[in-house]
C-alpha cells in the first residue's frame, strides 16, 4: 500500500485538482469557541452515549470546549458531497471517494496542522495520503480507516466464504438453497470498484491494475458482472441500520458490509461473522474536513485536536470496528483492548484498496480512465435493471 499511496496515479490526481483548489486562508490561531459545531458523519462515528453510555466522546468535548456538537448522519459519500454543497456545516468525515471531489469543488479548506498538536502522532502510512493531500496541503485530519468486509450468516456458512463469488455469482449455498434473493450489494457507484477488484483475481487477462482506474473494456466487464449480481440482490443497502435489520429479520445471508454492522449484530447475539476473502477488499480511510466557509472554525479546530486523542481514537475503533489513525490508541484502551487493533485488521493495511474518486486522468491507462460521473449514471442504470 505504501507504493500505492505514492504512485504516479495519486500524483496525477493531486495535480489535476491542485489548480482548482483555491482555498481561503487557514486560521492562524485557535480562539474562543463559537458555541456550536455542525458535523456530517457516517453512522456510529460521533457518539454521545445515547446508544451505549460507555461510548461517548462528545460530552467531555462539549464540557471542555463550550461547543455543542450537532451531527447529521449520511449513508453514502454522494450524500455527504450533496450536503456539503448545500452548506451550513463545519466538518465532514469524508471517505476517499468524496474527499477530492470536495477539494476540487472548493467546498473544503486546507488545515493549519500547526494548530493541531496531536498531528505529529498520526500514522505515517496515512499522514500524507493522496485522497486528502493536494499540492502539499492537507485538506483535513485523518479519522479512521478499515476494510469493506464480507458479512455472512454463520448458520448458512459453517466456514467463512473464501471468495466474493457468493455475492456475485448464482450458486447453491451449504444449506441447499440458492443465494438468489438472499444477498445484498452497496447502493453507491463506488461498488463498481468491488466488481473490478473481483475481476482482477478472476479475469487477469483484463489487465486491471487498480479498481479505480478502468479502461472502457475493463469498465464494461465490471458493469456486466454487476448486472449478473442484480439478478441475485434482494436489496441494495446504504443505511447501516436497515442492513442490520435485514440480516436479523429478512433472510439476508451475505453482503459486503462495514465492521459497524458486524459488531452491532454480534453484540445482539446474532449468527453473524465477517471475513476478507481471497480476492482482497476495497476499504475506506476517512478524513475530517473543514467546510471552506465554516461558521465555527475555532470549535472545528478544537474538535480536530480532540478527535486525535488516543482515547477517542480507541473508543471509535471499538465501537465501529475500524482502525485508529493514531497508533498509540492500539494500547491501553479499555473498550478496544490491546488485541482490538489486530482483530480489526491493523496489519491488513497493505491489502486494502482504499476508496478514491475515479478520474479520467490515470497513470495505468494512459489518462484514458472512465471518470466518476459515468460511474454514477451507469450504476443507477444497473440498479434499475439496464
Give the C-alpha distances (Å, rounded to integers) separating 259 from 105, 184, 206.
30, 16, 31
DSSP-based three-state secondary structure for 223: helix
Cell readout for 316 is 471509535
Q: How many CA atoms lie within 13 A of 242 on its CB side?
A: 11
**What are the backbone dihedrals phi and psi of residue 11, each rounded to the nearest 5 degrees, phi first?**
-65, -40
pTM for this predicted structure: 0.84
Partner residues linked to 285 by β-bridges: 145
Q: What is the pLDDT of residue 386?
A: 81
Output the CA angle 320-169-95, nearest 5 degrees: 30
Cell readout for 186 is 452497496
Q: What is the pLDDT of residue 385?
A: 86
Please report where in the chains the cell 448458512 appears, as a residue.
Answer: 156
Do 166 and 254 contact (CB within 8 A), yes or no?
yes
Q: What is the pLDDT of residue 26?
A: 67
Do 222 and 192 contact (CB within 8 A), yes or no?
yes
Do 141 and 307 contact (CB within 8 A), yes or no?
yes
How far from the centroid of its chain's Cα atoms is residue 34's Cα?
A: 29
Element (H, E) at 275: strand 272-275
φ/ψ region of 104 (left if φ > 0, alpha if ψ in -120 to 50, else beta) reads alpha
Distance CA 284, CA 146 (A): 6
Cell readout for 229 is 449480481
Element (H, E) at 16: helix 8-18
Residues 6 or more apart whose CB falls under 8 angstroms from that of 272 comprise 151, 152, 153, 154, 247, 262, 265, 266
The DSSP symbol for 274 reads: E
* Helices and strands in the chain, H and E counts: 14, 15
Name the nearest CA neighbour of 355 among 189, 199, 241: 189
Residues 6 or more apart whose CB falls under 8 angstroms from that of 123 comprise 142, 324, 325, 326, 327
Cell readout for 162 is 473464501
Give the C-alpha distances (Å, rounded to integers) separating 264 from 57, 66, 323, 375.
19, 31, 16, 31
The DSSP symbol for 102 reads: H
Walking along the chain (386 residues) 10 residues at a time, the average pLDDT comes out as 36 39 65 96 95 96 98 94 96 95 95 97 95 95 96 97 98 96 96 98 96 97 98 95 96 95 93 95 96 97 98 96 96 96 90 91 88 96 91
Q: What is the pLDDT of residue 25?
A: 61
| Helix boundaries (H) for 214-292 | 216-230, 240-249, 259-267
Distance CA 311, CA 304 (A): 14
Residues 6 or more apart whose CB falls under 8 angstroms from that of 235 comprise 184, 242, 246, 250, 252
Amino acid at each position: 500500500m505504501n507504493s500505492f499511496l505514492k504512485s504516479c496515479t495519486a500524483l496525477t490526481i493531486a495535480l489535476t485538482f491542485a489548480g482548482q483548489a483555491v482555498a481561503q486562508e487557514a486560521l492562524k490561531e485557535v480562539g474562543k469557541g463559537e458555541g456550536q459545531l455542525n458535523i456530517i458523519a457516517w453512522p456510529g462515528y460521533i457518539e454521545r452515549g445515547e446508544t451505549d453510555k460507555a461510548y461517548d466522546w462528545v460530552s467531555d468535548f462539549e464540557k471542555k470546549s463550550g461547543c455543542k456538537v450537532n451531527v447529521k448522519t449520511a449513508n453514502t459519500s454522494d450524500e455527504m458531497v450533496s450536503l456539503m454543497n448545500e452548506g451550513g456545516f463545519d466538518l465532514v468525515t469524508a471517505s476517499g471517494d468524496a474527499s477530492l471531489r470536495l477539494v476540487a469543488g472548493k467546498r473544503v479548506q486546507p488545515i493549519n496542522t500547526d494548530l493541531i498538536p496531536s498531528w505529529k502522532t498520526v500514522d505515517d502510512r496515512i499522514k500524507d495520503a493522496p485522497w486528502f493531500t493536494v499540492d502539499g496541503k492537507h485538506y483535513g485530519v485523518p479519522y479512521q480507516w478499515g476494510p469493506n468486509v464480507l458479512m455472512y450468516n454463520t448458520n448458512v456458512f459453517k466456514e467463512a466464504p473464501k471468495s466474493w463469488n457468493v455475492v456475485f455469482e448464482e450458486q447453491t449455498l451449504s444449506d441447499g438453497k440458492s443465494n438468489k434473493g438472499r444477498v445484498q450489494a452497496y447502493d453507491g457507484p463506488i461498488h463498481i470498484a468491488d466488481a473490478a477488484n473481483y475481476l482482477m483475481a478472476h479475469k487477469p487477462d483484463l489487465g486491471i491494475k487498480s479498481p479505480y482506474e478502468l479502461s472502457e473494456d475493463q469498465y464494461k466487464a465490471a458493469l456486466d458482472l454487476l448486472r449478473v449480481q442484480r439478478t441475485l440482490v434482494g436489496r441494495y443497502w446504504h443505511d447501516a441500520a436497515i442492513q442490520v435489520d435485514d440480516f436479523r429479520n429478512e433472510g439476508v445471508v451475505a453482503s459486503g458490509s462495514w465492521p459497524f454492522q458486524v459488531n452491532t449484530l454480534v453484540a445482539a447475539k446474532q449468527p453473524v461473522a465477517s471475513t476478507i476473502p481471497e480476492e482482497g477488499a476495497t476499504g475506506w480511510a476517512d478524513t475530517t474536513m473543514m467546510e471552506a466557509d465554516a461558521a465555527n472554525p475555532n470549535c472545528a479546530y478544537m474538535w480536530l485536536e480532540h478527535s486525535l486523542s488516543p482515547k477517542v481514537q480507541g473508543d471509535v475503533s471499538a465501537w465501529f470496528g475500524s482502525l485508529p489513525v493514531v497508533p498509540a490508541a492500539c494500547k491501553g484502551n479499555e473498550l478496544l483492548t490491546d488485541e482490538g487493533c489486530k482483530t480489526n485488521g491493523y496489519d491488513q493495511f497493505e491489502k486494502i484498496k482504499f476508496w478514491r474518486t475515479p478520474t479520467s486522468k490515470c497513470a495505468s491507462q494512459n489518462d484514458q480512465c472512465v471518470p466518476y460521473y459515468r460511474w454514477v449514471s451507469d450504476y443507477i442504470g444497473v440498479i434499475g435493471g439496464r
